[in-house]
Structure 1
Amino acid sequence: MTTQRTITVLGATGRTGRRLTDTLLGRGWRVRRVARTARPHPHPAATTHTGDLTDTDFLTTAFTGVDAAYVLVPFDPTAPDVRAHMNDIGSSITDALRRARVPRVVALSSLGAELEYGTGFLTALHAQEQRLTALETDLVLLRPGYFFDNLDPVLPHLRHIGALQDSIAPDVPLPMVAAGDVGAAAADAVEEPKHQGTTIREIRTAVDLTLMDVAAAVGRAQGIGHLPYQQLPDEETITQLLQVGFSDDAARLQVEMHHAFSAGRVAATGDDPRAPTTVDDYLASRA
């Protein structure tokens, strides 16, 4: 008789965690869903645990006795000191994993997390990768590209605005991916044959896209025709981010990250299999 395996999923109600949870439930796993707030999952093999990711005792309990864990350090745009907040969460997660002796860890990181400086809040993910690697456990680091899902807040307004706007250079090809594909890749990583040490998986679609390419795709999907991309000055971008609730620190880190994208510093370096969802597929799913 096969013993049912158990995984703890942080951010289980988020964009990657939902896909991972549903995929592994469908494959016969038991899932401990961890989130700040969450309704119970209807599947009988899913349990829900609500708490604060800086509460190491809470996380240790959630991790104890599982076969694997999916972990992430969320970006809180309202935090007055974003990287300090992320480092507090990252340290709590790592300490709890160590206490609970979780045998396999799959961690959401990002392309660019291999860089130590000049990438905005991605430097906090660099620090978290270092902490997790020091655990000397079976670790898979997932480094996805820029999420198509970041377009969601602006999609309903682009017809009125008349342009896709951001502070990233218009002609730099960016590695991109749908969050759902990252969740699917995480599920596969959880079930990989056992290995010791750290494995890195880069996740992106088959073709890197400029933001001019993305704007054109949005124009097609929304029947707008030609939708231009407009690169905004840094200070205008910061002002817009402050208006939607970002702290000053978060807004400036976002712009610093965009500088790294524009300089081509946040790029894929390997040849991992490509994610299936194209930008046109993604936009069609949002129509």
Structure 2
Amino acid sequence: MKIIVTGSLGNISKPLTELLIARGHAVTVVSSDPKKQAAIENLGAEPAIGSIDDVPFLTHTFKGADAVYAMIPLSFTEPDLGNYLYRIAQNYVRALRDTRIQRVVLMSGWVADLVKTENTEHIFDDLDASITIMRPGAFYTNFYQSINLIKGKGFIGNFLTLRYSGLGALLTGKTGLLMGNYGGEDRIVFVSPKDIADAVAEELLLSPKEKTIRYVGSDEMTCNEAARIIGSAVGKPWLKWVLLTDKEMLRGLKMAKVPEKLAQTLVEMQAAMHSGKALENFHKSRPKMGKVKLTDFAEEFAEAYHKK
């Protein structure tokens, strides 16, 4: 099969590309970074350097493909996250329709159906194609962004890496991290990008007649249990996961000069996780959990932690 993988060489797209190539498929990797061209070629894939904001580029890239893995990276520089997600989703739909791609696997999020401004899944409904929506839990790899926070303050939290002036006044040192409004004893599904890549690879080779939704997870536990696992791996077994209220989160984002619409969306996304509704929907789907457990990832995390 000829398969298009978007997302450059990110946490999911790189292992996905490696899996597909190992199984004998021809893979084209879409990246906006020309510096990634050599790395993509070294994997045995064909690079397509351009922007997912460019419909003619997408259309040209998708021509002749059997399947497309489509993902929309979150942007914290767009003042209206909902409009940005909608625009990129429409770009994909136009290119997929023009090239008559028959198999599409779309990366979404496990709270997408609970957050109106984030949910662009419905935009793909009118495509004459077989579509699977992927809804993974919270990525293990997000913990890497909390290394400075753990080292400097001895606690952890859900966080957003933001690029706004004035943020420093709210942060613990210069970590670039802002605490969020889920955590503590909230029960969360965590997931390894490797397990997501495995699931996406499986789905790309299937062709269900109707649109399907697949939840993906690797481990389920409270945020504090996750903090203890990560903490134990780095010699801080007492590590806690700090929880902010919605009001504290929103106030912090506004003080950091985050545009109001974006701030409200970020609070809403994380509030959906705190509410437990996302976990309830996950359980209803009865997904098979992945192979990579948080204790496995904690070993990789500890390596990175001690090197930094």
How far residue 227 of structure 1 moved from its aligned partner, in angstroms, is 0.9
Counterpart of 1:229 in structure 2 is 241
Counterpart of 1:83 in structure 2 is 82
Structure 1 residues 131 and 280 mapped into 2: Cα distance closer, same or farther (>3 Å)? Answer: same
| Greater helix fraction, Structure 1 or Structure 2 | 2
Counterpart of 1:196 in structure 2 is 209
Counterpart of 2:290 in structure 1 is 275
Matched, 1:15 2:11: yes
How far residue 239 of structure 1 moved from its aligned partner, in angstroms, is 6.2
Counterpart of 1:33 in structure 2 is 29
- Once residues 104 and 74 of structure 2 are traced to their aligned partners in structure 1, the CA distance between those partners, rounded to angstroms, is 20
- Aligned residues of 2:64 and 2:99 also touching (Cα < 8 A): yes
Counterpart of 1:111 in structure 2 is 110
- Once residues 277 and 238 of structure 1 are traced to their aligned partners in structure 2, the CA distance between those partners, rounded to angstroms, is 34
TM-score, normalised to structure 2's length?
A: 0.82
Matched, 1:181 2:195: yes
Counterpart of 1:261 in structure 2 is 273
- Once residues 88 and 76 of structure 1 are traced to their aligned partners in structure 2, the CA distance between those partners, rounded to angstroms, is 12
TM-score, normalised to structure 1's length?
A: 0.88
Structure 1 residues 183 and 240 mapped into 2: Cα distance closer, same or farther (>3 Å)? Answer: farther
- Aligned residues of 1:144 and 1:177 also touching (Cα < 8 A): yes
Q: Deviations over 1:234-282 (max 9, x none)?
A: 4554566578895554333222211111111222021121111111111
- Aligned residues of 2:253 and 2:263 also touching (Cα < 8 A): yes
- Aligned residues of 2:81 and 2:118 also touching (Cα < 8 A): no
Any stretches of 5+ residues in structure 1 without a counterpart?
Answer: none
- Once residues 48 and 146 of structure 1 are traced to their aligned partners in structure 2, the CA distance between those partners, rounded to angstroms, is 28
- Aligned residues of 1:212 and 1:229 also touching (Cα < 8 A): yes
RMSD over aligned CA atoms reads 2.1
Counterpart of 2:119 in structure 1 is 126
- Aligned residues of 2:229 and 2:237 also touching (Cα < 8 A): no
- Aligned residues of 1:6 and 1:68 also touching (Cα < 8 A): yes
Letter in 1 for 2:103: R
- Once residues 256 and 142 of structure 2 are traced to their aligned partners in structure 1, the CA distance between those partners, rounded to angstroms, is 14
Structure 1 residues 249 and 32 mapped into 2: Cα distance closer, same or farther (>3 Å)? Answer: same
Any stretches of 5+ residues in structure 2 without a counterpart?
Answer: 158-179, 303-308
- Once residues 31 and 117 of structure 2 are traced to their aligned partners in structure 1, the CA distance between those partners, rounded to angstroms, is 20
- Aligned residues of 2:72 and 2:88 also touching (Cα < 8 A): yes
SS in 1 for 2:27: strand
Counterpart of 1:136 in structure 2 is 128
| Percent of aligned positions that are identical | 26
SS in 1 for 2:262: helix
How far residue 180 of structure 1 moved from its aligned partner, in angstroms, is 2.0
Structure 1 residues 31 and 244 mapped into 2: Cα distance closer, same or farther (>3 Å)? Answer: farther
Structure 1 residues 94 and 138 mapped into 2: Cα distance closer, same or farther (>3 Å)? Answer: same
Counterpart of 1:74 in structure 2 is 73
Structure 1 residues 167 and 97 mapped into 2: Cα distance closer, same or farther (>3 Å)? Answer: same
- Once residues 263 and 190 of structure 2 are traced to their aligned partners in structure 1, the CA distance between those partners, rounded to angstroms, is 21
- Aligned residues of 2:68 and 2:103 also touching (Cα < 8 A): yes
State how many pairs are aligned.
274
- Once residues 8 and 41 of structure 2 are traced to their aligned partners in structure 1, the CA distance between those partners, rounded to angstroms, is 14
Matched, 1:101 2:100: yes
